Structure 1
Amino acid sequence: MTTKPFAALVDWGTSNLRLWLTDSQGGVLAERQSAEGMGNLDRSAYPAILEGHLSALGAESDLPAVIAGMAGARTGWREAPYVETPAPLIGLFQHAVIPDGVTRPVYILPGVCQRENGRYDVMRGEETQLAGALEQGLDNALFCLPGTHSKWAMVEDGHIRRFSTVMTGELFHLISRQSILRLSVPEDADAEADPDIFNAAVDAALAPNFALTSTLFSIRAESLLSQGTKINAAARLSGLLIGAEIAAIQSDLRRYGKAYLIGTGKLTRLYARAIARAGGEAVMLDGGLLVRRGLLASAFSLFDHEFKE
């Protein structure tokens, strides 16, 4: 390694850990990834795991680390209390906490919460990706982060004004594996394989007076009445669920005109297609790049703040 690392940037989620050594320009010098996510760890295990990965990369003992994600949850390494909306993305570093059991400088960034009556919500990790998008100049935009629990966030003037978590991915799993629709949706089904079926289901969900709960059983009925005709129940179920999610956000989509999708893979492509069906433009962003940019921006602010003090 010819360039001296500036910091270790860590995205510590529920299932996985990703760590990068970067220079002061954000260039990746080395990286590690493992399945040592928060969901698999006792609190006492965090220091040794972090040091093990840094040692494997040859990081010096005084190299600082900045961490985003579930390491800052209540059941993580050390709780980093939520910042309430409207949350300034550029100021997240001010609420970072220092965990116990470390010999190097380590900072854990906070999550963001929303306390609106009836719209309580929380996020951890996604706010750092949004901070990375802010570094790209996206200070007024609508963002979607597809996943098991998708996030929609409205950023205005560099602040997360409001956001919502949608359990579409989890609902798909529960319905396709534990409801009567399990008899119609094969476990290895590919919702992306039949775009026409998916598109028609999205269009149905976007139509006026659509009711999801009274439409779902039609998937089972169609498989019973198809008389040997091959149908893709996974594509229809996915289209109905994602379409219903997009329908709920349609007024914001019309206002912004486009949605920035943070993610990769089949699920993100399905969201992009559904957004287009709703008349919006989907712009893909690299989530890994954004989280590094957000972490790096916090690192610069933290170290500058530290040196001034």
Structure 2
Amino acid sequence: MSTTPCLVAVDWGTSSFRLWLMSRDGTVLAEHRSNEGMSEVAARGFELVLESHLSTLAVAQDIPVVICGMAGSRQGWVEAGYIDIPADLTIIGQNATVVRDAARKIIILPGLAVRNVSEPDVMRGEETQLLGAHLEMPGGNRYCMPGTHSKWVSMDGASVTGFETFMTGELFATISAKTILVHSTGGKGGVDANDPAFLTGVRDGWTRPEKTTHHLFSIRAGQLLYDHGQDENRARLSGLLIGTEFSGAGVRGGEHIGLVASGALQRLYHAALSECGVTVRDIDADVAVRRGLIESWQHFSNTSGDRQRP
């Protein structure tokens, strides 16, 4: 196991910041996480925030940085553009955008785009997780990537052939806190993946998606008429939205799906997919994105001539 720093890998999203100091063999030497996502730091300056974390870790100036996520969006640090699908994930590194005039070598990876006038779609950050997931799970052809905006991805080898985004996480947050259901759900709180109300909600959303808006209001009615508690209601709301997502994604019992997730979302989606008869292969999201970032840096350095790094 190497202990010599060689690369800083960063996943910089809309609401979160994750940084890993890596050795040449992929060992994590140090880690920083914060809520300094794109929306938080745009006014303060991306380089200032990044360097504050690197300074805390005493990272030398000659250690390069590879970034994926919303830092490369139009509202981010430097726009990194999109690669149209079908897209070979192994080329995202060689299509990275270099941050000019930065104090150190910094590259930002591009996202992926579906250029379909009737159903356009984009992803930014997940493509790097997908590269790592593909390396962790060779031969997988369907992946679920839950989050604020969940992604369902079809692949052929290392090539992304299609994907769809579902606003499940954002809808859950908005409906539970900004609609009449705030009185029924309490607005905030976790969901138990083993709660029968969650699993029943998953089945109802999956098998009867056309009734979802009715089922949502029935949560309120159930509280008024049968004193259903906030934990139960929150679980049912989560299950309904995830099940409706599954219906839209065409989930079928008996199929095999790679679940790229961690923490509470991993537990919820694993339980929900299993409830629908899916065979789930769990891939830790942090492991996947780190591996994707390292692999992308290697491809960038091989094509740019910067071969002294990993």
CA shift at 1:136, angstroms? 2.0
The aligned counterpart of 2:245 is 245
CA distance in structure 2 between the partners assigned to 1:244 and 1:92 by the alignment: 32
The one-letter amino acid paired with 1:83 is I
The one-letter amino acid paired with 1:289 is V
CA distance in structure 1 between the partners assigned to 2:240 and 2:114 by the alignment: 27
Question: Equivalences for 1:218-229 in 2 at 5 Å?
Answer: 218-226=218-226, 228=227
Look up the SS of the partner of 1:93 in the other structure: coil
The aligned counterpart of 1:211 is 211
Look up the SS of the partner of 1:147 in the other structure: coil
Percent identity (aligned): 40
Greater displacement, 34-43 / 21-30: 34-43
Greater displacement, 33-42 / 295-304: 33-42
CA shift at 1:209, angstroms? 7.1
Distance 1:159 1:43, change over 3 A: farther
CA distance in structure 2 between the partners assigned to 1:219 and 1:150 by the alignment: 23
The aligned counterpart of 1:59 is 59
Question: Equivalences for 1:73-84 in 2 at 5 Å?
Answer: 73-84=73-84
The aligned counterpart of 1:157 is 157
CA shift at 1:53, angstroms? 2.4
Deviation per residue, 1:38-74 (Å, 9 max, x gap): 1112377222332332233222222111111111111
The one-letter amino acid paired with 2:145 is L
Question: For the aligned residues, what is the CA RMSD?
Answer: 2.4
CA shift at 1:26, angstroms? 0.5
Of residues 285, 288, 291 in structure 2, which corresponds to 1:287? Answer: 285
Look up the SS of the partner of 1:20 in the other structure: strand
The aligned counterpart of 2:129 is 129
The aligned counterpart of 1:68 is 68
Distance 1:282 1:99, change over 3 A: same
CA distance in structure 2 between the partners assigned to 1:153 and 1:92 by the alignment: 16
CA shift at 1:308, angstroms? 7.6
Look up the SS of the partner of 1:94 in the other structure: coil
Distance 1:64 1:43, change over 3 A: farther
Look up the SS of the partner of 1:18 in the other structure: strand
CA distance in structure 1 between the partners assigned to 2:151 and 2:300 by the alignment: 27
Identify unmatched segments of 5+ residues in structure 2: none
The aligned counterpart of 2:87 is 87
CA distance in structure 2 between the partners assigned to 1:104 and 1:297 by the alignment: 20
CA distance in structure 1 between the partners assigned to 2:135 and 2:176 by the alignment: 39
Identify unmatched segments of 5+ residues in structure 1: none
The one-letter amino acid paired with 1:76 is G
Distance 1:16 1:222, change over 3 A: closer
Distance 1:245 1:66, change over 3 A: same
Instruction: Name the TM-score, length of structure 1 as normaliser.
Output: 0.90
CA shift at 1:193, angstroms? 7.0
CA distance in structure 2 between the partners assigned to 1:79 and 1:272 by the alignment: 34
